[in-house]
Amino acid sequence: MKIKIQRSRQGIALIIVMVVVLVFGIMAGLFAYSMKVETKLARNSTQDTELEWLGRSGIELAKCFLSQSGAGGQQYDGLNQKWAGGTGETNDALAALSLENNKLGRGKFSVKIIDLDRKFNINVAGEEVLRQAMILIGTDAAQTPLIVNAILDWRDADDDTHVGSTETESDYYLTRQPPHSAKNGPIDDMSELLMIKGITPGMYWGSGGVSAGRSQTHKKGVLHSQDESAYPVGFVDLFTTLSSRFININTASATTLQMIPDIDENMAHAIISTRAGPDGVDGNDDDMPFRSIGEMANVPGINRANAGLFARYFTTRSSTFEVEVNTQMDLYSRTYVAVLRRNGRELQTLYMFWK
């Protein structure tokens, strides 16, 4: 009996030792994992800072390019200039600089500058421009006046509907789920259009977005979900909320140009062909951008009287730009976006974020 008792005690002791070893092994593993996580978080924190400074450096480089645009007496912004990715002018002060693959420290960044004045500011678009936009988007003729009035009612300062419209002010929107009021003020973000009665995701995004087939978009608490055909262009292709009151004739697309009264498809393409030069392609050495709106009289089909009328809508200079900076460091990458406002050669950053 004594021998069996000793063996039993030895077995229990061995089990205890194994349990203790297992517990210490688990604790060591957890500690090692915790240290690995802490190290990774610390490294990510450092990389976050470095990526942000790469993004800020890209924005400052964009400011440098845009401040030089118009130097030497050039009173225009065109797609042939370096900031827009063009070949640049002869003896360009920016000839030695590039917007692509700029190395800085352990990382690199590339910059893309987009002229927001190539689109029309939706907050100053009148009924005539909005109606033409709806035609270009491809909405049904019966819907066009209803949607135009709904946009105007959303923007104006009162809760009175336009003639011929109903359910386009706060008393209607407050019955929706979730309830919300009409803006009764300027549109701050283009996505607000998805809150306006009659505007669908297809109309908003056009063929370049999520409109084809079944579309479902959730913006600012409003859910649209329906089957609809793709529209050739969308509101986001034609409008912005941040540009000036004028469209840059040197950067606008043919579709955007057609929103302006008396400019049809043929005239829009004639304008682009004139500014693009002999080869008909924007952004290279033979471009002939408009130096003044009066030069539009050189476009076939436009006389000086028409050119004077177009001065109400067009400019040859841009004041607002969106800058996209793609940064990369080791295996990490991040895209920063900023909107710049130009006043002379001074540029102000309106806002910046990363995605």
Q: pTM of the full predicted structure? A: 0.80
Q: Of 46 and 310, which is predicted with more confidence?
A: 310
* Lateral strand order in the sheet of 320-329: 102-104, 107-115, 320-329, 332-343, 346-354
Residues 6+ apart with CB under 8 A from 46: none
Kindly report the number of other CB atoms within 10 A of residue 267's CB atom.
20
Q: Give the structural domain span for 114.
A: 1-118+318-355
CATH code for the domain in which residue 142 is found: 1.10.40.60
Q: Determine the Cα–Cα distance for residues 35 and 149; give it in Å rounded to an integer.
A: 61
Q: Are residues 200 and 138 in the same domain?
A: yes
CATH code for the domain in which residue 264 is found: 1.10.150
Q: How confident is the model at residue 189 (pLDDT cuts 50, 70, 90)?
A: very high
Residues 238-255, mean pLDDT to the nearest whole number: 96
Residues 6+ apart with CB under 8 A from 24: none
Q: How confident is the model at residue 91 (pLDDT cuts 50, 70, 90)?
A: low
Q: CA–CA distance from 263 to each of 208, 222, 230, 238 (Å)?
A: 24, 35, 25, 15
Least confident range of 130-134, 191-195, 214-218, 286-290? 214-218
Residues facing 349 on adjacent strands: 340
Q: Are residues 152 and 218 in the same domain?
A: yes
Residues facing 219 on adjacent strands: 222
Express each pLDDT in 44-56 by its tens digit. 556 888 999 999 9
Count: domains in the chain: 3
Residues 311-332, mean pLDDT to the nearest whole number: 94
Using DSSP's 3-state secondary structure scheme, residue 166 falls into coil
Express each pLDDT in 25-70 by its tens digit. 888 787 777 776 665 655 555 688 899 999 999 999 999 999 886 5
